[in-house]
Amino acid sequence: NDPNHSERANLPRNMIENSMFEEEPDVVDLAKDSAFPTLDPDEVVYEPRSSRLLVRGLGENDMDDDEEDSESSARLLGMSFMNRSAAHRAGSSPYARQAPPSSCSRPSTRTTVVCVLFLVIVVSMSMVLYFLPGCTFTRVRGPLPAVLSSAHLPVYPNSTTGEPFPWAELRLPASVRPVHYDLTVNPDLDAMTFTGRTVISMAVLHATKRIVLHAADLTVTKATFQARVVTLLEYKPHQQVAVRFPEELKQGQRCVLTLDYHASLSSTYDGFYNSSYADKDGKKRVLAATQFEPLYARKAFPCFDEPAFKATFLVRISRRDGYVALSNMPKAKTTNITGGLLLDEFEKSSVNMSTYLVAFVVATFQSVSKNVSDTLVSVYSVPEKKDHTIYALDTACKLLQFYNSYFDIAYPLKKLDLVAIPDFLAGAMENWGLITFRETSLLVNNQSSPLQKQLIASVVAHELAHQWFGNLVTMSWWNDLWLNEGFATYMQYMSLQHEYPLLDIGNHFLTVRFRALDKDALNSSHAVSARADTPEQVAEMFDSVSYEKGASILLMLNASLSGDLFRKGIVGYLKKFSGSNTVTDDLWNSIAQQHPNIPGMMNTWTQQKGFPLVSVSRDGDLVTLTQEPFLLSTDATESAPSRWHIPVTYVTAGCSLTPDCVQVFTLENRNATLKLSKDVKWLKLNFQSTGFYMVDYGTAGWAALIEALTENCTVLPREDRASLIHNMFALSRLGRVSFRQVLNLLAYVVNETEAAPVSEALAQLNTLHLQLEKRNELDLAAHLKSYILERFEALMMNQTWGEEPCVSKQELREALLQTACALDVPDCLQKASDLYRQYANGSARVPGDLQRVVFSVAARSEDGWAELMQTYAQSSDDAQKRKILQALASTRDTRHIARILIEGLRGELVQTTELPLIISAVSGGFAGSLLAWDFTQQNWDALIKKFPVGSFAIQSIIMSTTSHFSTQTHLDQVRNFLGSLKKRGSQMRSVQVAVETIMLNQRWMDANLPDLRHWL
Ligand SMILES: [Zn+2]
């Protein structure tokens, strides 16, 4: 899955959180889910090969077995462990934050240990007395119930009919496994409903008296088991249905459950949902498509909706003549059925698939196709945009060949469809053989700029990589989502660097790593392999840690291994686990075949949150390196100091530009020393910023580097210059260096001409500028503006406004001109207005990278805004439409801001999928920031109806509306509002991230405002 890729690509600079400081616990609803742990002697929760990882893979978030068991036992006896567990796990799990002050103060460690021991004894004895004989109980995965006041609660919840539902866990039992699904769906695009029949063949793994599976919002009209009608029980809070049997099903038995049902097509963007678009004559065309990842297959058909329950699928879809139906596999046959409809039957899947990868589309689409390596590759779109599919088709073919060869495993299906869906929330979704995309992530026209092509190629590369990482080999559970997303993200950059060097994806990947570091520096971050139990927690795994940090640590690993070892390791992993499910350890153990130290090293990066800061000090010819966690907020409950096995690289004055110059060693302990001749003026660690750590060179070390850069900035590669700027700002947030030192470093940028360092410096300075404006420090904001212009105006003036084929030059001028016009540089405003006038009268095009800046200037005037609104409504160029939308949202006219926000929510003129983009653009402006925050508060319920709690869209909305705040008033407002949401969002990790970010901004402002007044 690629959540909102295109938005990320356009917006990282607006989504930076500046940060610093200490944690303050926010109160959340710990009683969110009081599912009672079930007692069941004959069943265990299905945990294929992952149970150890659930324990080990959690790093500091984790409890050991004893603790966990005692906690479960205590719950059985109705004791509250809330306080204890909060003290142990604060800041790790969204459910395990500090208890509200009223519930009592935190016990000392010794008290806790004594209490725990005492409780373990009491609990163990009570268990024996109470539950003998046969008292085993399953490991509890749900969030902690608040207080269970008696041991006499029912073991099972009630189903909708009032009968007990035979299962109380969120995860399904392991007793029965699906083998094959025979699936028929009949969508009615007029009534917006569908009927379905699902025939599930199953194998009984352990003797049991029940079958439990998932179903959500489906009305089951008939259930038959082995051809006998049976009663189906439903427990809606867990989206589960079940059949109970008077006699045990025997181990090894095969059986068949058939369910007939009907439902409405979903009006949100998940499950089997309806969508529409206007064709070239303005006529409304309706279509239906699916989005099942992570937990929505259950909304389209009853199923064992967990990634480890893989099975084969045979899909049939009915449709009207003139429509095409698509599914994962090629079409096998079409038959006429009643009502003048056609029934398409697709081949039985040749591979075992997880339910979240099943997909179908029914629409009036057209396609272009090409055969490559025995696979028919097709790109589908609405007929009007068929011409915009060629680039995606060529790219998909080229990358398919690349992956076939790189992974040494041929893509296993006979066809691969890439489909542009007019109304699609995520950037794209990797359904096996039927990848779905936003139109803006797949379609480009001939005139599209290289940057737009870079975006398309990178989304296609990401989704194609998933056909191996995710589809062929799948994580056992969502806690290891990074095995899918970190890999696909890394492969997307790696494959493009290899196959499309001219697209110059390197700067983009570098920025992505910087932002991943910024997020992971927060106390509210989490380990790469993290706990994910509830649907909201699963949704929140689709975040920067799983994607960008995952990709960053894979880059670090690859960069630290010589030759082809990384590739050999992952090929071994893919071959060994082809068709099955894995946990993180499986990956490291496979790569360990190439290098035995890998698991030890990589576990330090996946099992604990955060990353190290390496400090450098020189004394004569000795250089001492010291590692410590880079934590902006300290967590008092953190016990053992974190250590990482860091593959440190460095270059020195004299040889600093090529890989031959790079020295490598692993820093495993807190300190290490190396020898360096006194004559060597400086050293720079983390060559090209391939390592996931930051570096502080100390006063003398920084001074030497700054002197070298001032003399000649090309003594270091562009990535290293950018990372020095990034690290310096981060150290300022940490309180390690004064802002004076940041300014000392930035003095060199007057000579800088490369996109990576310039855009990093501007991103940081613009963020600061926005924060100053938002706290009404207008004098200081004006001074900072003068400072930015002093440093960059010459380079800004140098930029061209015509077509530019070179990607990095596009990136450079995009960053510079956007800042220039935002800061009202007259020359920029004039040129943008001129170009817009030529565009409006049809005499010129606006290059893709300049569209946002040109349209934003145009949108400042009343007429310009109205004109752009009209262009937006009529245009079919999706990439340009997004730029127009950002421009419309960046207006300084509050009436217009209100209008565009409302249009985004209404979802007619502007698709609701664009609302996070609109809110982000509005929040990035001085006039709109408070409006965006007010709008979010006022429309919260409408927002979470459209975008699920925890989803990337909601994460993005929270962060873009709050991350520039830095005052106590704003902090109180944000905390009060998000805290008041309770089940409607308070438990989200992004709430912690938002609060922590504002506190860090506030701390930084308190510490630096007096000096800023002095220096700027
Ligand atoms: Zn993905």
The Cα–Cα gap between 856 and 295 comes to 39
SS3 315: strand
Q: Which residues of 306-342 are buried (b: 16+ CB within 10 A; e: fewer)?
A: bbbbbbbbbbbbbbbeebbbbbbbebeeeeeeeeeeb
CA angle 998, 999, 1001 (to 5 degrees): 65
- Angle between helix 826-840 and helix 807-822 axes, rounded to 10 deg: 110
What pLDDT was estimated at residue 54? 27
**DSSP character at residue 166:** S
Query: Average pLDDT of 630-648?
Result: 81
The Cα–Cα gap between 762 and 812 comes to 10
What pLDDT was estimated at residue 121? 54
DSSP H or E segment with residue 261? strand 254-264
Residue 617 pLDDT more than 80? Answer: yes
Residue 93 pLDDT more than 50? Answer: no
For the chain, percent of residues with pLDDT exceeding 70: 84
Residue 751 pLDDT more than 80? Answer: yes
The Cα–Cα gap between 287 and 301 comes to 19
Lowest mean pLDDT among 16-25, 579-588, 677-686: 16-25
Calculate how far, in angstroms, residue 960's C-alpha sits from the geometric centre of ligand 1: 22
Residue 638 pLDDT more than 90? Answer: no
Residue 605's nearest CA partner among 51, 57, 65 is: 57
SS3 970: helix
Q: Which two tokens stand for residue 277?
A: 């678009």
Lowest mean pLDDT among 475-484, 571-580, 653-662: 653-662
Q: Model confidence at 424, in pLDDT bands (50, 70, 90)?
A: confident
- The amino acid at residue 310 is K
The Cα–Cα gap between 143 and 424 comes to 31
Q: Which two tokens stand for residue 560?
A: 């630290």
Calculate how far, in angstroms, residue 124's C-alpha sits from the geometric centre of ligand 1: 45
Per the DSSP assignment, residues forming a β-bridge with 414 are none
What pLDDT was estimated at residue 117? 56
**Omega of the bond prior to 826 within 30 degrees of 0, cis?**
no
Calculate how far, in angstroms, residue 457's C-alpha sits from the geometric centre of ligand 1: 14
Q: Model confidence at 84, in pLDDT bands (50, 70, 90)?
A: very low
Q: Which two tokens stand for residue 921?
A: 């653009």
Q: Model confidence at 705, in pLDDT bands (50, 70, 90)?
A: very high
Residue 868's nearest CA partner among 836, 907, 913 is: 836
**463 burial via Cβ count (<10 Å: 0-12, 13-18, 19+):** buried
Across the chain, what does the average pLDDT equal?
85
> pLDDT per residue over 496-534, tens digit each?
999 999 999 999 999 999 999 999 999 999 999 989 999
Residue 976 pLDDT more than 50? Answer: yes
Q: Which two tokens stand for residue 193?
A: 């409903």
Calculate how far, in angstroms, residue 410's C-alpha sits from the geometric centre of ligand 1: 20
What pLDDT was estimated at residue 738? 93
The Cα–Cα gap between 705 and 454 comes to 33
What pLDDT was estimated at residue 131? 40
Residue 203 vs residues 206, 250, 251, 492: alpha-carbon distances, Å: 9, 10, 8, 38
Residue 325 pLDDT more than 50? Answer: yes
The Cα–Cα gap between 329 and 172 comes to 28
The string of DSSP letters for 455-524 reads HHHHHHHHHHHHTTBTTTBEESSGGGTHHHHHHHHHHHHHHHHHH-GGG-THHHHHHHHHHHHHHHTSTT
> pLDDT per residue over 918-945, tens digit each?
999 999 988 888 899 999 999 999 999 9
Query: Average pLDDT of 22-36?
Result: 28
- Angle between helix 109-131 and helix 82-89 axes, rounded to 10 deg: 130
> pLDDT per residue over 528-581, tens digit each?
998 999 998 999 899 999 999 999 999 999 999 988 999 999 999 999 999 999
Calculate how far, in angstroms, residue 307's C-alpha sits from the geometric centre of ligand 1: 15
What pLDDT was estimated at residue 92? 31
Q: Does 896 show up as a binding residue in the annotation?
A: no
Q: Model confidence at 171, in pLDDT bands (50, 70, 90)?
A: very high
Calculate how far, in angstroms, residue 424's C-alpha sits from the geometric centre of ligand 1: 15
Higher-pLDDT residue of 44, 14:
44
**DSSP character at residue 39:** B
Residue of 23, 347, 463, 536 marked catalytic: 463
What pLDDT was estimated at residue 731? 97
Q: Model confidence at 977, in pLDDT bands (50, 70, 90)?
A: very high
Q: Which residues of 220-257 are buried (b: 16+ CB within 10 A; e: fewer)?
A: beebbbeeeebebbbbeebbbbbbbeeeebeeeeebeb
**DSSP character at residue 116:** H
Q: Which two tokens stand for residue 128?
A: 């024996």
Q: Model confidence at 281, in pLDDT bands (50, 70, 90)?
A: confident
Query: Average pLDDT of 837-844?
Result: 94
Q: Is 463 a catalytic residue?
A: yes
What pLDDT was estimated at residue 878? 82
The Cα–Cα gap between 108 and 880 comes to 59
- The amino acid at residue 517 is L
Per the DSSP assignment, residues forming a β-bridge with 419 are 380, 436
Give φ, ψ of 672 to 5 degrees. -155, 155
Q: Does 485 show up as a binding residue in the annotation?
A: yes
Residue 479 pLDDT more than 50? Answer: yes
Q: Model confidence at 88, in pLDDT bands (50, 70, 90)?
A: very low
| CA of residue 476 relative to chain centroid, distance | 18
Residue 871 pLDDT more than 60? Answer: yes
Calculate how far, in angstroms, residue 427's C-alpha sits from the geometric centre of ligand 1: 9
Query: Average pLDDT of 647-668?
Result: 93
pTM passes above 0.75: yes
Lowest mean pLDDT among 114-128, 585-599, 614-628, 792-806: 114-128
Give φ, ψ of 56 to 5 degrees. -75, -35
The string of DSSP letters for 239-302 reads TEEEEEEEEEEPTT-EEEEEEEEEEEPBSSSSEEEEEEEE-TTS-EEEEEEEE-TTTTGGGTS-
What pLDDT was estimated at residue 636? 60
Q: Does 804 show up as a binding residue in the annotation?
A: no
SS3 436: strand
Q: Which two tokens stand for residue 934?
A: 């007010």
- Residue 831 CB neighbours (<10 A): 22
**DSSP character at residue 388:** G
